[in-house]
Structure 1
């Protein structure tokens, strides 16, 4: 039998829902010893929905010797401080995306985990969807042949009410707009599939559909890791929101990944489909997606702790995707604090 790993959850906002559902499914692998919130009201509300012990005392949770790992679900601006404290107390850490507000702070978090000798995983769950895994395997095995071109589109929607919530769409809380907060999942998956070696050109703006500080539209011309042309378009202004799409043109076939549904069409006439497991949160309901991929992220993280291997998405992997966000916005000339 696999020994269960003691876990604490820190941060009980909306992001805690898929994680908590996943941990219920993974009770044979993980024991949630604490669920921590800054406010008693949120802790009480959470405790009415999930069978986990709640507290507002983070120090008490970290002092519990039965807690070996912490899932950090606080706002991005606190990821480094909260995670570094957990690491100092000898805990392994799984942190929500993005790694931090800036790549510099993200790098500091990754370095802190290395110094502490503890596992750091990052929640970029699109890599764990069945369709994503099949596409990755097809590319790695050369089934599609050399990549000749690729594209990524994230035509999502968020209403103004979303950005009217305190801190939403600000640099101080979120660190960035559509690229870092919404499209980072798809961008990370795209980078893991075909690589990105260069940002050729880019545009970024805040459209008239939103009142916000950060960007809600970005387009770019890219080159893949092998130098093939690629395009990117991401937005939260495409009402009512549509599934993200990755297209890959190979010498032996074509791949179309729309949300969680994959279609492979090979030049020899073979076809293959991996059906989607549910919605993707592309519209006004940001939690409109199944928790299967989150469960897979947590299971991978727990196995990494047990076996001593790296998780699929390490701090360095997440940092590489965040640095790509920086490069795209820098080429676009989108002004951000500390970057001109």
Structure 2
């Protein structure tokens, strides 16, 4: 039984709380702590979790093995350092922190403390994505000669009117670091490291916000395959993100959680489903299955004494690429 403390009751808390309720036979929630009231406090209490306002005490509690950080990105480094110093493993919501420097410091702190660091990048765990990774790793698509990522999401202005949202001081950025990082991490896990050729980050007139809501980029894999990239939260009403891999033996298209593969020899395969991915105004309108799998993987990694997947280094690779696309590297 893994005993955890959940820190934070913001928007990200709901799928985690529901997942932890599903996993109650293997993961025990000792307490949920939030300095604010939190809109999800009622949900936590209805699921039978003890809620407190003392974050420091929850992290230091000797009865817990690990801490799940669901607080705003700007708070992650300090809270994680505190947890590591208390001998706890940490699962942190994406992104690691608001800047590459702070994100790197968080990963380094875990390494110095000898603790495990997992990151919530749940798109890797949707069944369609799992199957696609299996096909790529087995060479079933042949050599990937081109790829694309189209992330055409929508967020209304009311979303960015919340204090701190879409700002650099709290969130670290806009569409790339807050939304598209999930698909960027998934793409990197499929095609490997990417070199940036060119990028154009912008803030459209659709939103009044500090950070970017639209980015176009051209990238290249280490083997020379071209990768086109578009990410936005200005595409009304929003549609599922699409990753397309063109291989010498076939083409794979992952639309949200639905995978469709067509091989040159005529074979066709589908996997996963086309359920909502939170691409529209209903930002939490998605199943929590992938979050549940993130928690299972984190627990399994601790049990096996290995790094969780995705690891801090994986998340750092995605944030490093995002920093380059924003012209800050």
**Partners of 1:37 and 1:43 within 8 A in 2:** no
Which of 290, 305, 313 in structure 1 is aligned with 2:287?
290
Distance 1:284 1:6 in 2: 35
Deviation per CA, 1:307-330, whole angstroms, max 9, x where unpaired? 101111111110010000011111
Distance 1:12 1:148, change over 3 A: same
The residue that corresponds to 1:300 in the other structure is 297
Distance 1:135 1:16 in 2: 28
The residue that corresponds to 2:317 in the other structure is 320
Provide TM-score, normalisation by structure 1.
Answer: 0.94
**Partners of 1:156 and 1:239 within 8 A in 2:** yes
> How far apart are 1:277 and its partner, in Å?
6.0
Deviation per CA, 1:283-310, whole angstroms, max 9, x where unpaired? 0111011000000001000111111011
Deviation per CA, 1:227-286, whole angstroms, max 9, x where unpaired? 101100000000000000001100000000000000010111111001316210000111
The answer for unaligned runs of 5 or more in structure 1 is 331-338
The residue that corresponds to 1:31 in the other structure is 28
Provide TM-score, normalisation by structure 2.
Answer: 0.97
The question of 1:130 aligning with 2:127 is answered yes
| CA RMSD across the alignment | 1.3
The residue that corresponds to 2:257 in the other structure is 260
**Corresponding residue SS for 1:132:** helix
**Partners of 2:10 and 2:40 within 8 A in 1:** no
**Partners of 1:196 and 1:222 within 8 A in 2:** no
Structure 1 residue runs of 4 or more that deviate by more than 6 Å after TM superposition: none
> How far apart are 1:43 and its partner, in Å?
7.3
Q: How does 1:38-117 map to 2 (within 5 A)?
A: 38-40=35-37, 44-117=41-114
**Corresponding residue SS for 2:315:** helix
Aligned length: 329
Q: How does 1:206-285 map to 2 (within 5 A)?
A: 206-276=203-273, 278-285=275-282
**Partners of 2:90 and 2:118 within 8 A in 1:** yes
The question of 1:7 aligning with 2:4 is answered yes
Residues 275-284 or 160-169, more deviating: 275-284
Distance 1:23 1:235 in 2: 31
Distance 1:197 1:279 in 2: 28
Residues 221-230 or 14-23, more deviating: 221-230
> How far apart are 1:50 and its partner, in Å?
2.4
**Partners of 2:213 and 2:233 within 8 A in 1:** yes
**Corresponding residue SS for 2:326:** helix
